[in-house]
Amino acid sequence: MTMLDTTHDASLQSWVPSANAADTDFPVQNLPFGRFSPKDGAQTMRIGVAIGDQILDLRAAGLADSDDMHTLMSAEASERQALRSKISQGLRLGSAQQATWANALIPMAQATLELPCEIRDYTDFYTGIHHATAVGTLFRPDNPLLPNYKWVPIAYHGRSSSIGVSGQKFFRPSAQTRNPQEDAPVLRPTQRLDYELELGVMIGIGNVSGDAIPIARAQQHAFGLVLLNDWSARDVQAWEYQPLGPFLAKNFASTISPWIVTMEALAPFHAPWTRPAGDPQPLAYLDDASHRAHGAFDITLEVFLQTEKMRETGLAHERLSSSNYRDAYWSVAQMIAHHTVNGCNLRAGDLLGTGTQSAPEPENAGSLLERTAGGRNPVTLKNGEQRIFLQDGDSVTMRAHCEREGFRRIGFGECEGTVLPARS
């Protein structure tokens, strides 16, 4: 577990005024990393740190020798902590660096936010037990969770090439689907397009092929977390997923937030990891005392929807649900330990999705499949529109933040994506 230090002091203020606003996601206690390109086109893609509504260009500030994010992510924990401390001290109110670093700031409004790093491999887990139970109940009311769910962190390997950054617009995908009344499948645009509220774990330090990462050291291999929307075509998924699992239902688009909130920034928001007494306890490679004491994270997650009609009439996104990552059945450390127990080598820039995170209450589900009970209970929006699944022009925005008494609230920024009509 990353330890607390002076960078987490709630009383710290920054000489960047917007970083001191009570509602900012990016106070000086956060300092997430990402990549950006100035909109004037004068420079190539750069590594930056979000501070209020500004970006600190690391090379311009003399804090990085290159713009290779993988190099930064794969640094040892002590090096990352030293860099965080240096950035924190330089951005604090009264810092001697203010005069020179002020020239290394660029307003976010004048930058294009890019993928925070090149995504190498992508694995999507299924750690949200409330989601797994709700979806399982739709298809297997008497046995919603399959026998292995409480023993093994289930996952499938996804497609990294179609992962985009917040602001992504994608075409409604077409694939084979078969309705119950049809004798044969038909190639057509999906009619049951859905979002999935997830977090993504960005791997920093990798491991050598053949070497398993023990759970006691697993979090040291995570660089940080992002928001992740794993868009899903439910009708395509229902037709194709047996016997090998998701394929075209999942590989057309995934969206992540542009800022990686580091494990160092998240240190104040650890929570105990627990398992109900009546459930199977994890096998030894997925369990240790420190993990039980600190292995979970207290992160509030939210989903908002804006329809095309809402956008045209000036209505803001409407919140559909809220949940918390502390309710996940499997943790960040357990995902990493399990992924490598067979000798699989992870690399800097690999992305591990947590799977959909839902709350126990149906109205706080992390997907429309759950929220509408498989399409039986439409969601009615404040303007009178209804949704069973997503329609063309719909924009989904996900947000997340951490709050704890005695510490500064930090956030993840936004993860937003918009559905375009299928190509003819």
pLDDT digits (tens, 9 = 90+) for 203-213: 999 999 999 99
pLDDT score recorded for residue 1: 65
CB atoms within 10 A of CB 265: 25
Nearest to 248 by CA among 264, 261, 266, 232: 232
| CB distance 26 to 19 below 8 Å | yes
Quote the pLDDT of residue 344: 98
* pLDDT tens track, the chain, 424 positions: 678 999 999 999 999 999 999 999 999 999 999 999 998 876 789 999 999 999 999 999 999 999 999 999 999 999 999 999 999 999 999 999 999 999 999 999 999 999 999 999 999 999 999 999 999 999 888 889 999 999 999 999 999 999 999 999 999 999 999 999 999 999 999 999 999 999 999 999 999 999 999 999 999 999 999 999 999 999 999 999 989 999 999 999 999 999 999 999 999 999 999 999 999 999 999 999 999 999 999 999 999 999 999 999 999 999 999 999 999 999 999 999 999 999 999 999 999 999 999 999 888 999 999 999 999 999 999 999 999 999 999 999 999 999 999 999 999 999 999 999 999 8
Contact 353, 228 (CB under 8 A): yes
Residue at 178: amino acid letter: R
User: pLDDT at position 424, please?
Assistant: 80
How many whole angstroms separate alpha carbon 144 and alpha carbon 360?
14
Q: Is 131 a catalytic residue?
A: yes
Contact 233, 190 (CB under 8 A): yes
Q: How far apart are CA 142 and CA 134, in angstroms?
A: 12
Question: In terms of Cα–Cα distance, which of 293, 298, 407 is closest to 1?
Answer: 293
Residue type, 117: C
Q: Which two tokens stand for residue 221?
A: 């291999």
Classify residue 183 by burial, with Cβ atoms within 10 Å: 0-12, 13-18, 19+: exposed
Taking the C-alpha atoms of residue 222 and residue 265, their distance in angstroms, rounded to an integer, is 12
Show Cβ contacts of residue 187 under 8 Å, excluding neighbours closer than 6 positions. 174, 175, 176
Please report the domains of the chain, with CATH numbers, ordered by start residue: 6-113 (2.30.30.230), 122-420 (3.90.850.10)
Say what the pLDDT of residue 3 is.
Answer: 85
- Beta-bridged to residue 57, according to DSSP, are 48
3-state SS of the chain is CCCCCHHHCCCCCECCHHHHCCCCCCCCCCCCEEEEEECCCCCCCEEEEEECCEEEECCCCCCCCCCCHHHHHCCCHHHHHHHHHHHHHHHECCCCCHHHHHHHEEEHHHEEECCCCCCCCEEEECCCHHHHHHHHHHHCCCCCCCCCCCCCCCEEECCCCCEEECCEEEECCEEEECCCCCCCCEEEECCCEECCEEEEEEECCCCCCCCCCCHHHHHHHEEEEEEEECCEEHHHHHHHCCCCCCCCCCCCCEEECCCEEECCCCHHHEECCCCCCCCCCCCHHHCCHHHHHHCEECCEEEEEEECHHHHHCCCCCEEEEEEEHHHCCCCHHHHHHHHHCCCCCCCCCCEEECCCCCCCCHHHCCCHHHHCCCCCCCEECCCCCEECCCCCCCEEEEEEEECCCCCCCEEEEEEEEEEECCCC
Model pTM? 0.97
Among 8, 130, 131, 401, the one annotated catalytic: 131
CB 196 within 8 A of CB 231: yes
CA distance 29 to 343: 36
